[in-house]
Amino acid sequence: MWGQAWGNIYDIAAPQGLPGPGYDLTASLQAKGYDATRMMKTGEGFYTAMGMAPLPETFWSRSMITRPRDREVVCHASAWDVDNDQDVRVKMCTRVNADDFYTVHHELGHNVYQRAYAKQPFLFRGGANDGFHEAIGDFVGLSALTPTYLKQIGVIDTVPGPEADIPYLLKMSMDKIAFLPFGLLVDKWRWQVFSGQVDPAHYNEAWWKLRTQYQGLTPPGPRPADAFDPGAKFHVADSTPYTRYFLAQVYQFQFYRAACRQAGWTGPLNRCSVYGDKAVGQKFEAMMAMGQSKPWPEALEAFTGEKDLDASAIADYFAPLNLWLTQQNKGQQCGW
């Protein structure tokens, strides 16, 4: 409803004349008998296969991983560190589908990070910056969606050939690339509000001005004078800063590229899975264990060898798609 990810309209944007990704992840998970617990156990398995400790027993007894039958809850997925030590939990109304398969790996990334820096002095128990905390699980999620990994854990039986790369990357870009302008504009709007640049009478107008400027989106029809569309976004209503998600969208690809290089991967970046690579896991956990004890550039360098935000990793990941789209759009007027 926010237009922050466009993967759900992939079916009307799918390239004509090309085969699909070669499998339906939702259908495969359901056919293999996955339930919420098995989804969560599979996510945990990714981290333990990289050498990290299993989740504590209290995680399984205290987390909410399915929608309760006896009360209303907020189902927006989130991960929690209750005691700044080992009492980590997830709150999620897990469904057996591709979206939640990714989300499980993402949310557990928060818990794995929290446990990694638990031995730091209290003031340093946190992500190197807010973007890091979101990017940890997203990096693992990038690996977890690859057909390479899905074959490794038996969710799919065969890895599709190279002809499936363009459909795979196009669908991924409709979530990842489409998110970048949205991730930027939410806090741009908030800053306009907090600074007084925009008064309450123009909150909604300012919101749609940014949506059109950065995303090329307009409302489906005229908006009433008292409309407050940004309030429909959880993070606006909850007053959760949003720049972390924009930064994480870059960091996750930096982490992913660095991990694949360390693993010696030489194929297309989008097919790389670091599942089971304990050497990569050891180096990754060492970065997480730093928490906030060092400036974030030093934490970034500890794992990637790079000291600054570098979006070239996104370009590397989507390079085959960019080449294909350049050919497809030849002679076309792109933009809005």
Q: Where are the domains of the chain?
A: 7-175+243-328
The domain made up of 7-175+243-328 is a member of CATH 1.10.10.10: no
Q: Which of 34, 245, 275, 317 is catalytic?
A: 245
Q: Which of 31, 76, 205, 232 is catalytic?
A: 76
Q: Is 76 labeled as catalytic in the residue annotation?
A: yes
pLDDT tens string 44-69: 999 999 999 999 999 999 999 999 99
Q: Is 107 labeled as catalytic in the residue annotation?
A: yes
Q: Which of 5, 36, 77, 178 is catalytic?
A: 77
Residues in the chain, overall count: 336
- CA dist 115 and 285 (Å) reads 10
What is the chain's pLDDT, residue by residue, as a tens digit (336 residues)?
Answer: 889 999 889 989 888 877 777 889 999 999 999 999 999 999 999 999 999 999 999 999 999 999 999 999 999 899 999 998 889 999 999 999 999 999 999 999 999 999 999 999 999 999 999 999 999 999 999 999 999 999 999 999 999 998 899 999 999 999 999 999 999 999 999 999 999 999 999 999 999 999 999 999 999 899 998 999 999 998 999 999 999 999 999 999 999 999 999 999 999 999 999 999 999 999 999 999 999 999 999 999 999 999 999 999 999 999 999 999 999 999 999 888
Question: According to the model, what pLDDT value does residue 49 have?
Answer: 97
Q: Which of 44, 107, 117, 256 is catalytic?
A: 107
Q: Is 251 labeled as catalytic in the residue annotation?
A: no
Q: Is 110 labeled as catalytic in the residue annotation?
A: yes
Nearest to 279 by CA among 116, 50, 53: 50
pLDDT tens string 196-213: 999 999 999 999 999 999
Tokens read off for 283: 């180096």
Q: Is 285 labeled as catalytic in the residue annotation?
A: no
Q: Is 72 labeled as catalytic in the residue annotation?
A: no
8 Å CB contact between 90 and 108: yes
Q: Which of 23, 134, 149, 275 is catalytic?
A: 134
8 Å CB contact between 135 and 261: no
Q: Which of 23, 34, 44, 106 is catalytic?
A: 106
Question: According to the model, what pLDDT value does residue 295 have?
Answer: 97
Q: Is 133 labeled as catalytic in the residue annotation?
A: no
Q: Is 106 labeled as catalytic in the residue annotation?
A: yes
